[in-house]
Amino acid sequence: MIIKPGELLASINSPADLRNLKPEQLLQVTQELRQYIIDVVSIHGGHFGASLGVVELTTALHYVFNTPYDQLVWDVGHQAYGHKILTGRRDIFHTNRKYGGISGFPKRKESEYDTFGVGHSSTSISAALGMAVASKYKGEDKRQHIAVIGDGAMTGGMAFEALNHGGVANANLLVVLNDNCMSIDPNVGALKEYLTDITTSRTYNKMRDEVWKILGKISKFGPDARTIVSKIENGVKAAILKQSNLFEGLNFRYFGPIDGHDINHLVSVMEDLKHIPGPKILHCLTTKGKGFALAEKDQTKWHAPGLFDKITGEIYKTVPDKPQPPKYQDVFGHTIVELAEQNPKIMGITPAMPSGCSLNIMMAAMPDRAFDVGIAEQHAVTFSAGLATQGLVPFCNIYSSFMQRGYDQVIHDVCLQNLNVVFCLDRAGFAGADGPTHHGAYDIAYMRCIPNMVVAAPMNEQELRNMMYTASQEDMGPFTIRYPRGEGVMPQWRTPLELQQVGKGRTIQEGEEVAILTFGHVGNYAVEVCQKLALEGIHPGHYDMRYAKPLDAELLHHIFTKYEKVITVEDGCLQGGFGSAVLEFMVDNGYTSQVKRLGIPDAIFEHGSQLQLQHEAGFAPVDIENTVRELAGVPVKV
């Protein structure tokens, strides 16, 4: 289906075209841009609410600043759809997040307007500051550098580190704070309350406006007028807000808050800010989902709703004709509540992803025992470690790719002290349409190399429940449970909780000549392959190893004694992963079997469906089947 842009939007193939328009045409551009995002996302899917909320902001930035010479850095990519459409990708925008299509996030190799690749939050100020300092060093004094960061991303510690540096770097940097009180879920923490105080202080805002009017009438102060304005405004902020301005305390000039949906005022303010050197913050108030009533009302639901009817707002969902297995994240969410009802020591922690990881179920049932700490993975890990020192059992649920941001804390604060923190790594393996910034490719390798750490992966929902139950037992130490995005395989998943022996695998079936060793959900692929091959008289053995660390030495001795050919399958990186652990065992124990490892090779994989990416990487069911055929000396099927 061809989606036609509005009259003005159709004429914009670059920001240069946008800048040729008259200011009075910008309102129409924003209306057409917002409608185009609604039209495309409703049919093709993708993130939704965040980009609707910054349509005016996006238009104003590209209208006022000379992009791409002026460097525009977006924080995360959820809010950059309008940016992509205005920068020459309108006609291919429908391929967004699809296999072989454009990325759902800004990506340097995709466009010169994407100055920095983003997917994880809170990076924009650091990146833009680096660019600004580089420009200063090269003598490019007129070049502008703008970081657009949401208030949710501002809760990340990295943003404050960058502000702390930016305040003394004396570089030409503008931070645009997109304040909508949301990331994916509602924002939490003292910063949210602080921004709310600034936003809602009618006294401050009224007095500020009056002060500016008065100062406009006393320009006879000449060159000293700007100094007087600054001193008086700072005094107003401190007196009315009863505290110094946080940002100005970090040596950033603060402007706002202003209406982030008033395109003409945004343009006017940005034109002024272009001529003010040094570090600056523009505080813009926006509404996530602006222009689509249902998205404004339920912002979490409409963050990425899938396909929907843009007229009625109905979100299309396939109605199955039989019971379906749940998502792994929901099994986690319900199981942690079940465990917590039995064990008062269990606590839940997540860095700003309560609905994404389903900890919101526990937050509703036990609000005093479940914590959303904001977009702050480092803090989430060490906060969990602190809980563990007091005899509690924290379940710290972090997406696999986000766990990378708290790695030092895992080593220094948890594993070196051998604390009983349970890391539940959601979205392990390929994350699908979110692409390389969100693929959980490395956690097996980076977790199994740390002393004291257990690394487990369930093959199904029952295994996940049992691993969680096992990890919650007293003095289990650091414990990682990884599981993929999406559905499991058991419609009847509420099985009785059973303790597992840590490091003990299980035999799915004994076989002949070739053994398949799997780790995690991909074991279900091997079951499918074995059933198919059995019809041809080919009978590989299949073993669900369950644990990459510690390995089941007894089971591995059996396998390497019986089989001359072994296949390992994992949905993680091959370098240092589960297959590497098996090879290490084989060499250390003097075995000489032929081993073929299937998993994610040493390459960057883009976005697409999980199965598409698994086949590209070489461990989809057909790839496992063909590897068995190859090792068994049976013709490979094309």
For 73, the token pair is: 């850095």
- 3-state SS of 103-150 is CCCCCCCCCCCCCCCCCCCCCHHHHHHHHHHHHHHCCCCCCCEEEEEE
* CB half-sphere exposure, 211, CA atoms < 13 A: 18
390 CB contacts (<8 Å, ≥6 apart)? none
* Alpha helices, DSSP H, located in 404-458: 407-409, 443-448
Indicate the DSSP class of residue 282.
Answer: E
Catalytic option among 32, 56, 233, 377: 377
Q: Write out the H or E segment, with its range, that includes residue 556.
A: helix 553-562
C-alpha span between 507 and 513 (Å, rounded):
16
Instruction: Give just the sign of the alpha carbon dihedral 291, 293, 298, 304.
Output: negative
Find, among 386, 363, 383, the residue nearest to 373 by Cα: 383
Catalytic option among 84, 89, 327, 405: 405
Indicate the DSSP class of residue 536.
Answer: T
Active site residue 405: yes
Active site residue 288: yes
φ/ψ (deg, to 5) at 237 = -60, -45
Find, among 156, 571, 91, 106, the residue nearest to 328 by Cα: 571
404 CB contacts (<8 Å, ≥6 apart)? 442, 446
C-alpha span between 480 and 496 (Å, rounded):
21
Indicate the DSSP class of residue 449.
Answer: T
Catalytic option among 84, 237, 280, 288: 288
Query: DSSP secondary structure string, 152-190?
Result: TGGGSHHHHHHHHHHHHH----EEEEEE-SBSSSBP-SH
Which is it for strands 393-399 and 346-350: parallel, antiparallel or unpaired? parallel
Strand partners, 74: 148
For 159, the token pair is: 């943003």
Helix/strand/coil percentages in the chain, nearest 5: 45, 15, 40
Find, among 254, 281, 19, 275, the residue nearest to 142 by Cα: 275
Which is it for strands 541-544 and 506-509: parallel, antiparallel or unpaired? antiparallel
C-alpha span between 215 and 232 (Å, rounded):
10
Q: 505 to each of 269, 412, 455, 520, how far by Cα in Å?
A: 63, 29, 12, 11
Indicate the DSSP class of residue 636.
Answer: P
Find, among 130, 192, 153, 166, the residue nearest to 54 by Cα: 153
Find, among 457, 401, 444, the residue nearest to 604 by Cα: 401
For 359, the token pair is: 């900890």
Indicate the DSSP class of residue 86.
Answer: I
For 396, the token pair is: 């710290």
Catalytic positions, please? 288, 377, 405
